[in-house]
């Protein structure tokens, strides 16, 4: 099921529609959501991610209305993440993390807390639990990186099932095939999300879809998701242990959510299992530092992390930015770049940088480059994607130019192994195919 802008409206309205003009703002957002839906229906008729993105980008540039950019910018950002344009994705849509009265005191206050690798913290806390819930920001693929890294550790601890939001239950061949394709889900079109599902399958997890199959929204959707999760994991398997990946506050453990309760709250009532909840969407880097949570930069200066970190006291108790809502908060490291890509794409060192240049495109611009595992079909979601020569549609006339005309060289991030690299144009026609081998050391 493709998410609709109408799913997001209750959150946006609660955030922005207060005081004078609230009714008008609500009407603007509803109109923007309806326009966004109309554009998306047109886009879905077009073949190829690159061609779809160009239509979406042009529509975004053509309408500067705040309500439209707020709603449609979220969809644009998802497609940018699918194409490996992670910086652009965060610019098109980003939730500012301001201070909140519910925030716990910073772990830098006093000397009770120390930082440690989040992977170590979570592995220790997850030992003996029956469910671990990770959240993510759907357009910020960096918020999936730690979850991918944690899967081998959690498998070793005895976790048996992996469940992810917006996986489609209609893809009954996923386990047999061993990799996700376009029929597998919505967010799985993004390569890091696909790598999360692929990794779970390779490790022997039973991968389950728990997304609501109905058109339910708000509390009804949360309850349906929780019921699906219980029925497909625990109902007939009392010894099961599950890792769940969900968006934003679907995993919040207390308080109202979208006028009712969250998926995690419904799950706890239905399954009588209190999940370990890992919050990793609030203490993250933004393209503009003004959007970072007020604690974020100070925490980074204190810990100087190159990998995700958590904070614990002398007894190993984890710090949470929202105590009572989430069990542990994770601070993700700041962006660093090498050869035009964000280095978190190494996924904790599991993947290596493999440099490609524009020659692979044979002068076809813009050009989409995709790397698929040898042994997987052409329908597989790639291990990584990049784009060369994408025109900046915000420029017109004589100013129009290629964004990467002076840098037709960048990195794919891939696990050691053999890959089939394919270059194609906006018309979806393949212009070049190469087989490569990625070794254990970076290749530049």
Q: CATH number for the domain including 358?
A: 2.60.40
CA distance 200 to 68: 37
- Kindly give the interhelix angle for 66-82 and 5-16, rounded to the nearest 10 degrees: 130
CA distance 338 to 27: 44
Mean pLDDT calculated for residue range 79-87: 96
pLDDT at 15 over 90: no
CB 164 within 8 A of CB 196: yes
Cα→Cα distances 98→102, 229, 322, 363, 388, Å:
11, 32, 13, 45, 35
**Number of domains making up the chain:** 3
Comparing C-alpha atoms, which of 4, 8, 281 is closest to residue 141?
281
> Does residue 362 sit in the same domain as residue 411?
yes
How open is the CA angle 313-349-159, to the nearest 5 degrees?
A: 60
Report strand pairing: 384-388 vs 367-373.
antiparallel
Note whether residue 104 is domain-resident.
no
> Does residue 285 sit in the same domain as residue 370?
no
pLDDT at 367 over 90: yes
Note whether residue 444 is domain-resident.
no
- Confidence band of 13 (pLDDT split at 50, 70, 90): very low
CB 57 within 8 A of CB 312: no
> Does residue 218 sit in the same domain as residue 181?
yes
Q: Which residue has the tokens 């990799």?
A: 179
> Does residue 67 sit in the same domain as residue 190?
no
pLDDT of the residue at 301: 86
Using one digit for the tens of pLDDT, what is the confidence trace for 289-313?
A: 999 999 999 998 887 878 999 999 9
> Does residue 320 sit in the same domain as residue 390?
no
Note whether residue 322 is domain-resident.
yes
> Does residue 422 sit in the same domain as residue 280?
no
Using one digit for the tens of pLDDT, what is the confidence trace for 124-140?
A: 999 999 999 999 999 99
Note whether residue 97 is domain-resident.
no
Would you say the pTM of this structure is higher than 0.85? yes
Structure tokens at 132: 């671990």
- Kindly give the interhelix angle for 218-233 and 263-271, rounded to the nearest 10 degrees: 40
pLDDT of the residue at 21: 67
Note whether residue 192 is domain-resident.
yes
Structure tokens at 54: 């160009």
- Phi and psi at 425, nearest 5°, equal -95, 180
More confident residue, 407 or 157: 157
Domain of 76?
5-92
Note whether residue 173 is domain-resident.
yes
Mean pLDDT calculated for residue range 397-410: 53
Note whether residue 271 is domain-resident.
yes
pLDDT at 326 over 50: yes
> Does residue 250 sit in the same domain as residue 394?
no
Cβ atoms within 10 Å, residue 269: 12
Instruction: Cite the beta strand spans of 248-365 per DSSP E.
Output: 276-283, 309-312, 328-331, 337-338, 341-342, 352-357
- Confidence band of 1 (pLDDT split at 50, 70, 90): low
> Does residue 55 sit in the same domain as residue 138?
no
> Does residue 160 sit in the same domain as residue 19?
no
> Does residue 293 sit in the same domain as residue 195?
yes
> Does residue 128 sit in the same domain as residue 249?
yes
- Phi and psi at 357, nearest 5°, equal -125, 175
pLDDT of the residue at 111: 82
Q: Which residues contact 376 (CB under 8 A, 6 or more apart)?
A: 178, 179
Cα→Cα distances 91→77, 85, 87, 221, 402, Å:
8, 10, 6, 29, 19
Note whether residue 209 is domain-resident.
yes
User: What share of the chain in percent tops pLDDT 90?
Assistant: 83
> Does residue 170 sit in the same domain as residue 260?
yes
* CATH number of the domain that residue 246 is part of: 3.40.50
CA distance 252 to 264: 6
pLDDT of the residue at 444: 55
Q: Which residue has the tokens 């420029």?
A: 395
pLDDT of the residue at 399: 37
pLDDT of the residue at 110: 80
Mean pLDDT calculated for residue range 226-240: 97
Domain ends where: 59, 92, 125?
A: 92
CA distance 179 to 96: 34
């Amino acid at each position: 099921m493709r998410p609709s802008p109408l799913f997001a409206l209750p959150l946006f309205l609660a955030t922005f529609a207060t005081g004078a003009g609230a009714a008008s703002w609500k009407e603007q957002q509803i109109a923007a959501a309806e326009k966004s839906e109309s554009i998306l229906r047109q886009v879905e008729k077009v073949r190829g991610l690159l061609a779809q993105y160009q239509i979406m980008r042009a529509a975004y540039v053509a309408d500067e209305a705040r309500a439209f950019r707020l709603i449609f910018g979220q969809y644009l950002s998802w497609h940018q993440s699918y194409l490996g344009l992670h910086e652009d994705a965060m610019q098109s849509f980003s939730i500012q993390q301001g201070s909140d009265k519910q925030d716990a005191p910073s772990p830098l206050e006093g000397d009770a807390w120390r930082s440690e690798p989040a992977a170590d913290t979570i592995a220790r806390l997850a030992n003996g639990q029956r469910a671990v819930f990770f959240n993510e920001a759907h357009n910020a693929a960096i918020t999936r990186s730690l979850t991918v890294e944690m899967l081998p550790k959690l498998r070793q601890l005895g976790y048996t099932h992996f469940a992810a939001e917006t996986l489609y239950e209609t893809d009954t061949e996923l386990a047999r095939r061993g990799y996700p394709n376009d029929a597998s889900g919505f967010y799985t079109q993004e390569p890091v999300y696909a790598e999360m599902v692929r990794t779970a399958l390779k490790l022997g997890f039973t991968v389950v879809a728990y997304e609501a199959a109905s058109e339910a929204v708000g509390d009804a959707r949360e309850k349906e998701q929780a019921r699906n999760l219980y029925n497909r994991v625990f109902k007939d398997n009392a010894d099961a242990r599950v890792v769940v990946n969900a968006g934003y506050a679907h995993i919040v453990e207390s308080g109202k959510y979208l006028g009712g309760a969250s998926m995690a709250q419904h799950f706890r009532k239905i399954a009588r299992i209190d999940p370990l909840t890992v919050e990793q969407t609030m203490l993250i880097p933004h393209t503009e530092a003004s959007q970072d949570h007020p604690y974020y930069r100070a925490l980074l200066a204190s810990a100087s992390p190159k990998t995700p970190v958590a904070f614990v006291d002398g007894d190993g108790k984890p710090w949470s930015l929202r105590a009572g809502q989430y069990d542990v908060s994770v601070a993700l490291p700041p962006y660093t770049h090498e050869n035009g890509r964000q280095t978190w794409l190494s996924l904790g060192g599991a993947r290596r940088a493999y440099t490609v240049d524009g020659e692979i495109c044979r002068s076809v611009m813009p050009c989409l480059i995709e790397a698929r595992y040898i042994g997987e079909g052409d329908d597989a979601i790639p291990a990584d994607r990049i784009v060369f020569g994408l025109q900046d549609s915000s420029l017109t006339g004589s100013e129009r130019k290629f964004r990467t005309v002076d840098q037709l060289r960048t990195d794919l991030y891939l696990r050691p192994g053999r890959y089939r690299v394919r270059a194609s144009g906006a018309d979806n026609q393949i212009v070049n195919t190469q087989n490569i081998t990625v070794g254990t050391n970076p290749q530049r």
